[in-house]
């Protein structure tokens, strides 16, 4: 037995050694490898595919070890746009090829990117595009190109915008899982998906207005780039008159129907490269990385701090995908106390979240703007809590197709008592005082508890509207009339005085410099997240999450349904968040 024990111990020891060796090699390779810059050869073309770019800001960390293991690799859309700007004057770059782009970026981000590509074209260099097929969002970006190619077997999706809202009332009745809704009296559409099984006329009206406003921006940009009148574009969309490559070319939405090899041959010809030779190309990620690491240092003493607020708002530190009070308040404090920082630009891309955290960030901005100006730049979303943290800035910029507003408050609590009754489960409470028991999802909601919670919701709503009124120099009633949870496009928000000007991040930076009365300046990105190595290691390929496996098994749409139910079950405290996801197709 002792012999077998020794053998077993030896086998286990060998196994542990192999595992440690394996992960040690990965660790060393990650630590010391992968940073070699890719050289930019003469007569090069940048290949633009933004599949790996998800956020404006890729984030940075106080711990360099954490930075090494971060999957973001330090490149965000802002870096890409800056690289495109640098490429205008780079003699080695002759053009940009948008090749089978599969980006998950939003329409407001695409607007910023389109502007950068338009500016690049004005330098006299070309922008060409090729895709096997174009989604409508991808076509919006590629319509900026001088020449657009499409695969003969491909298709082009051009049909106008739509949005889908899921309703859960019947699901609740059938499952016994109910969401107890506590809301401000006028905030009618906020929790409609949990109270009704179909869309109200008022809700349909507001979503229709939002989509029409966004479509007006998208179609106007395409009309200008392709020189097609707006009525004609709407006719094409309404009749699906560009659904095949031949029809798309006939409608002048594309220029050439050809396979990818023909596209590359055309680029060779433009570069005067022999047909049997490869032309020089570099991916946008490599070019951006080069630009980030090798750009000339800006020696200006004055700085403008750009603080990125991305994702839903919650407690804790936060990261590149979530807005946490820890990183946001620390960033505002650091920028405020730094004498070199003369102004702050807050870049927001958020549908909102925790009302408490939103208020804490609002307060930090209120303190900061007494010391130096704060200008807001809105991305795809700056709604509900996202607007809460924007409303007191000195100036607010948004894109035409930014989704903003949604000024409203609600609370939701999961209640399983109908399900428990179906399963024969009975829960009872014993308490010393009338209101001493905590909320239980297994007991029907007490009306007094509802009344107390509604009182809190009303208080936060009044605080929210008051903050907006003071920040935007409006009366309480003026804000209340356009609040009540309604969402607006950036175009509409300017008319309603919720936003000052239409423009992107660079416009907001220029405005901040103007207010601070500085001409020469550099920019400094925030936040620096305080993450541990364990937080990052959990995202490595060998630590694939159970969610990823479930998604593979049941499909993306079914997973989204489950996630939406789970998401609302986890909400704690009163929320200033967009009441439902608006997915625009």
Higher pLDDT, 65 or 146: 146
- If one compares 313 and 39, the residue with the highest pLDDT of the two is 313
d(CA 210, CA 233): 19
Q: Where are the beta strands (DSSP E) in 154-257?
A: 163-164, 178-183, 256-257
Q: Beta partners for 45? A: 95, 281
Mean pLDDT along residues 286-292: 90
Q: What is the pLDDT of residues 520-576, one digit of tens each?
A: 999 999 999 987 666 655 555 444 455 655 655 555 555 555 666 666 556 656 666
Surface-to-core class of residue 227, CB atoms within 10 Å of its CB (0-12 exposed, 13-18 middle, 19+ buried): exposed
183 and 461 Cβ atoms separated by less than 8 Å: no
For the structural domain made of 300-584, what CATH number should be given?
Answer: 3.90.226.10
| 338-347: average pLDDT | 97
Q: To the nearest whole percent, how much of the chain has pLDDT over 90?
A: 60
HEC string of 105-124 equals CCHHHHHHHHHHHHHHHCCC
DSSP structure class, residue 186: T
Q: What is the pLDDT of residues 57-103, one digit of tens each?
A: 998 887 766 666 555 457 999 999 999 999 999 999 999 999 998 88
258 pLDDT higher than 80: yes
168 within 8 A of 565, measured Cβ to Cβ = yes
Could you tell me the residue ranges of all domains in the chain?
44-158+240-293, 300-584
The catalytic site residues sit at 188, 384
Domain 44-158+240-293 and domain 300-584, same fold? Reply is yes
The DSSP 8-state label assigned to residue 18 in this structure reads: H
Return the pLDDT at 276: 87
First and final C-alpha spacing in the chain: 68
The lowest-confidence range among 34-38, 115-119, 240-244 is 34-38
3-state helix, strand, coil in the chain (%, to 5): 45, 20, 35
Cβ 347 vs Cβ 305: under 8 Å: no
- Domain 44-158+240-293: top CATH class: alpha beta
Task: Tell me what pLDDT residue 5 has.
Answer: 54
- Report the alpha-carbon distance of residue 428 to residue 78 in Å, rounded: 55
Does 477 have pLDDT greater than 70?
yes
**221 against 176, higher pLDDT:** 221
Which of 540, 522, 532 shows the shortest CA–CA distance to 62?
532
> How high is the pLDDT of residue 24?
52
Residues 170 and 198: their CA atoms lie apart, in Å, by: 10
206 Cβ contact list (under 8 Å, min separation 6): 189, 486, 487
Q: How confident is the model at residue 25 (pLDDT cuts 50, 70, 90)?
A: very low
């Amino acid at each position: 037995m002792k012999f077998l024990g020794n053998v077993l111990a030896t086998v286990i020891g060998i196994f542990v050694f192999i595992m440690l060796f394996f992960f040690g090699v990965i660790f060393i390779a990650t630590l010391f490898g992968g940073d070699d810059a890719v050289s930019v050869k003469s007569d090069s073309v940048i290949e633009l595919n933004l599949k790996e770019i998800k956020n404006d800001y890729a984030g940075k960390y106080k711990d360099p070890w954490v930075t090494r293991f971060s999957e973001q690799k330090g490149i965000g859309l802002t870096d890409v746009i800056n690289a495109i700007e640098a490429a205008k004057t780079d003699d080695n770059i002759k053009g940009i090829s948008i090749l089978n782009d599969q980006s998950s970026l939003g329409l407001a981000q695409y607007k910023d990117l389109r502007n950068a590509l338009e500016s690049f074209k004005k330098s006299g260099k070309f922008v060409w595009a090729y895709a096997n097929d174009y989604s409508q969002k991808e076509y919006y970006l590629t319509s900026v190109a001088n020449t657009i190619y499409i695969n003969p077997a491909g298709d082009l999706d051009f049909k106008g915008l739509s949005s889908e809202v899921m309703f859960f009332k019947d699901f609740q009745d059938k499952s016994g899982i109910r969401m107890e809704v506590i809301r401000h009296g006028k905030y009618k559409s906020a929790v409609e998906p949990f109270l009704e099984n179909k869309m109200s006329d008022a809700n349909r009206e507001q979503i229709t207005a939002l989509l029409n406003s966004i479509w007006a921006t998208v179609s106007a940009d395409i009309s200008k780039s392709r020189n097609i009148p707006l009525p004609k574009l709407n006719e094409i969309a309404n009749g699906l008159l560009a659904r095949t490559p031949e029809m798309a070319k006939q409608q002048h939405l594309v220029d050439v129907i050809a396979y990818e090899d023909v596209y590359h041959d055309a680029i060779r010809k433009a570069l005067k490269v022999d047909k049997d030779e490869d032309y020089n190309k570099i991916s946008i990620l490599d070019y951006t990385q080069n630009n980030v690491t090798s750009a000339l240092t800006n020696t200006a003493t004055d700085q403008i701090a750009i603080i990125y607020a991305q994702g839903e708002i919650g407690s804790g530190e936060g990261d590149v995908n979530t807005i946490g009070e820890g990183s946001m308040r620390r960033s505002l404090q650091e920028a405020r106390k730094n004498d070199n920082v003369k102004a702050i630009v807050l870049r927001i891309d958020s549908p909102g979240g925790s009302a408490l955290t939103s208020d804490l960030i609002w307060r930090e901005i209120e303190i900061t703007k007494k010391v130096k100006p704060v200008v807001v730049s809105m991305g795809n979303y700056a709604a509900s809590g996202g607007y809460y943290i924007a409303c007191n800035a000195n100036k607010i910029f948004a894109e035409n197709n930014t989704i903003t507003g949604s000024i409203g408050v609600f609370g939701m609590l999961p209640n399983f008592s109908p399900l428990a009754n179906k399963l024969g489960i009975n829960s009872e409470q014993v308490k010393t005082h009338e209101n001493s028991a905590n909320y239980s999802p297994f007991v029907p909601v007490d009306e007094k508890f509802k009344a107390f919670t509604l009182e809190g919701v009303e208080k936060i709503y009044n605080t929210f509207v008051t903050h907006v009124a003071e920040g935007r120099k409006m009366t309480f009633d003026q804000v209340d009339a356009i609040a009540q949870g309604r969402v607006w496009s950036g175009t509409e928000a300017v008319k309603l005085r919720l936003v000052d000007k239409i423009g992107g991040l660079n416009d907001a930076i220029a405005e901040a410099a103007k207010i601070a009365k500085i001409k020469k300046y550099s920019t400094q990105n925030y936040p620096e997240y305080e993450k541990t190595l364990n937080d990052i290691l959990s995202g490595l390929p060998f630590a694939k999450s159970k969610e990823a496996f479930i998604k593979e098994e049941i499909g993306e749409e079914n997973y989204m349904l489950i996630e939406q139910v789970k998401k609302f079950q986890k909400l704690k405290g009163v929320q200033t968040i967009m009441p439902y996801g608006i997915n625009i197709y």
